Amino acid sequence: MTTRHKPSLARALAAFAVAAAAGAAVHAAVIPPGTVLAARQEMVRNNGSEPESLDPAYIESVPAGEIDRDLFEGLTSTDHHSNVVPGVAESWKQVDPTTWVFKLRKNATWSNGTPVTAEDFVWSWRRFLDPKTAAKIATTYAVYLANGMEVVNGKKPVTALGVRAIDAQTLEVKTAGPVPFLPAVVSVAQYGPQPRAIVEKFGKDWTKPGNIVSNGAYVLKDWQVNSKVVVEKNPAYWDAANVQLTRVTFLCVEDGNADLKLYQSGEEDYLYQLPPGSYSSLKAQYPREIHNGPLLGLRFYALNNQDPLLKDVRVRKALSMVIDRNILSEKVTADGQAPLYGLAVKGLAAIQQTRYDWADWPMDKRVAEARRLLAEAGVKPGTKLRFTYNNSDYHKKMAIFAASEWKTKLGLDTEMDSLEFKVLIRKRHDGDYQIARHGWVVTFNDATLFLALLQCGSEVNDQRSCNRKADELIEQGNAATDPARREALLTQAAKLAMDDYPVIPLLQYSVPRLIKPWVGGYDEANGMDRYRSKDFYILKH
């Protein structure tokens, strides 16, 4: 793994620096000098699943987001190093804690020639958060804008939303409370612009090839459900000169083995995810093509803090202590995921990683202490635990490991319950579980997304845990204008909350992947795992 900048100060400074450097820099495929490009710049990449929609207001999944970020460029964008870079906006400024002003570039146009204006963003964001549009994910993103929640809950009209076009090239955004990471927020595909005239003309069919109009680096050429999505270079794009790939085909293969076979037979250039358990053998087989970088995601087990057995923090601590995360990482999953003993993952912005003090104790000592805690809490060997997970070989393996740790080291029996994903989510939300498998991956890089997991009453806090002091620290952190102070406060908050053992952190996600050697532009350090097609290029081969 390549080293990365410490996420905190340097990143914050970098973000401001970029904002200030009024669009002078070019943000696309950075091709090392002397590289020879192939004549045919086309790529076939597997995108993991069929997109649920291509309408920015309705997309929720990562694969749909990947395609939409090629079609629609927002105010800002994320490049292949997971840095926030200018998009339609060439610069921005935070004029006061809750107000930002974005300056749009003059040469941004839609693929049918009409210019992209600030009014487009106003209309699009209002449409996205309008409850009548019924966009499921609107609630998640509404929190950041002023009156966002009120609008999405139907309490205020969309015109009350904190976004306003000062003139055709200037957009003013008001946030609900200080959001120091707003540029990152508006880089998500859902905050992209939508072509009003087209949407109003075609209604539900506006995203079909032939109807759709986009402002991004690519236009939609063909869409065959459950087969492929094909995009082609948009000649009207403001940065078209720096876009190498002329044609990209997104496949939607979900099965890792099928994906691998397509890669091996040359039908695709970019494998989405390796079949579980195959990393070490594929690494040996394709040393030049294998890639594995950390993802800004956390694998953990949610503990129902209200459950009669798990109410006692000593029990929760004991369960967490005895799991040998080294074996989990090296032997069980064996695909380069790093063990975690805290909430924050490596590369997460505005927070430092924390580690339980017992993380470095020898296992015997941990087991002894855990047993002592259990005895104190009055939990006898033979007590039954109930573990819920969604059916997948990968999770099954990890679960069996955890169960065997709890059995051999603490004498607890685990009953395993494998469910469909939808049913698992429901049960977790409803608190109908004792221990459940959970995973959390960020949609933009900021610590608050992780802290939301532990905040009192947060809608993503399935553990029903609550630490008021930690919540206070989070609020203070978000109000802080000094990035260093913010980071310190958020780190403290995380440590405090995690000392309650609301969850059992296990591993940091990694992205094991196979990519043909002639594809350039991939960066293993890209913790967000978001790639715009304009960042890729094909080497001569």
Partner 1 sequence: MWAYVVRRLLVTIPTVLAVVTLCYVLLHLTPGGPFDAERKVSDAVLANLQAKYHLDLPLWKQYLYYLRDLLHGDLGASFRYADWSVNDLVARALPVSLAIGGTSMAVAAILGVALGITAALRQNSAVDIGVMLVANIGSVLPSFVLGPVLVLVFAIMLPLLPSGGWDDFAPRYMILPIALLTLINVSTIGRIMRGSLIEVLSSNFIRTARAKGLPMRVVVLRHALRPALLPVVSIIGPLAISSITSAIVTESWFSIPGLGKLIVNGASDRDYTLVLGLVVLVTVMAVLLNLLVDLAYAWLDPKIRY
Partner 2 sequence: MSASLPIADTAHAGRSPWRDARVRFMRHRAAVASVFILALVALACVVGPMLLPNAYDSVDWNLMSAPPTRAGWHLFGTDELGRDLLVRTLIGGRISLAVGLLATLVSVTIGVVWGAVAGFAGGRVDSVMMRIVDMAYAVPYLLIAILVVTVFGRDILLVVAAIAAFSWLDMARVVRGQTLSIKSREFVEAARAIGVPTWRIIFQHVVPNLMGVVVIYTSIVVPGVILSESVLSFLGLGVQEPMTSWGVLIHDGAAVMGAAPWMILFPAAALSITLYCANFIGDGLRDALDPKDR
Residues within the interface to partner 2 (CB under 8 A): 256-257, 275-278, 281, 327, 331-332, 390-391, 393, 396-397, 399-401, 404, 416-420, 423
Residue 275 contact, options partner 1, partner 2, none, Cβ 5-8 Å cut-off depending on partner type:
partner 2
What minimum distance in Å lies between the beta carbon of 2 and partner 1?
30
Which residues here bind partner 1, judged by CB under 8 A? 50, 52-55, 58, 60, 131-140, 142, 149, 152-154, 204-205, 207-208, 224-228, 251-255, 257-258, 261-262, 264-267, 420-423, 425-426, 429, 459-460
Contact 536, 242 (CB under 8 A): no
Query: Which lies closer to partner 1 via its Cβ, residue 460 or residue 479?
Result: 460
**From the list partner 2, partner 1, none, partner contacted by residue 140 (C-beta under 5 to 8 A by kind):** partner 1
The smaller minimum CB distance to partner 2, of residues 182 and 274, is found at 274
Residue 397 partner contact from partner 1, partner 2, none using kind-dependent CB cut-offs of 5 to 8 Å: partner 2
Residues 424 and 430 sit within 8 Å (Cβ to Cβ): no
Closer residue to partner 1, CB minimum distance, 107 or 224: 224
The DSSP 8-state label assigned to residue 41 in this structure reads -
d(CA 165, CA 180): 21
Is residue 354 within 8 A of residue 370, CB to CB? The reply is: no
Choose among 44, 68, 62: nearest CA to 207.
68
Residue closer to partner 1, measured from CB, 12 or 290: 290
- CA separation for the pair 464, 429 (Å, rounded): 9
The pair of three-digit structure tokens given for residue 267, joined into one six-digit string: 């039908």
| Contact of residue 154 among partner 2, partner 1, none (CB under 5-8 Å per partner type) | partner 1
Q: Which of 207, 181, 184, 205 is nearest to 194 (CA)?
A: 207
Which of the listed partners (partner 2, partner 1, none) does 277 bind, with a CB threshold of 5 to 8 Å by partner kind?
partner 2
User: Which one of partner 2, partner 1, none is in contact with 253 (Cβ closer than 5 to 8 A by kind)?
Assistant: partner 1
Alpha helices in 322-359 (DSSP H): 325-327
- As measured in angstroms, the least distance from the Cβ of 134 to partner 1 is 4
Rounded distance, CA 294 to CA 190, Å? 24
Distance from C-alpha of 111 to C-alpha of 370, rounded to nearest angstrom: 62
Q: Which is nearer to partner 1, 315 or 454 (CB)?
A: 454
For residue 248, the one-letter residue type is V
Q: Which is nearer to partner 1, 313 or 441 (CB)?
A: 441
CB of 290 to partner 1, least distance (A): 18
Tokens 């969604």 found at: 390
- Give the contacts of 416 (CB within 8 A, at least 6 positions apart): 387, 389, 399, 400, 403
> Which is nearer to partner 1, 101 or 262 (by Cβ)?
262
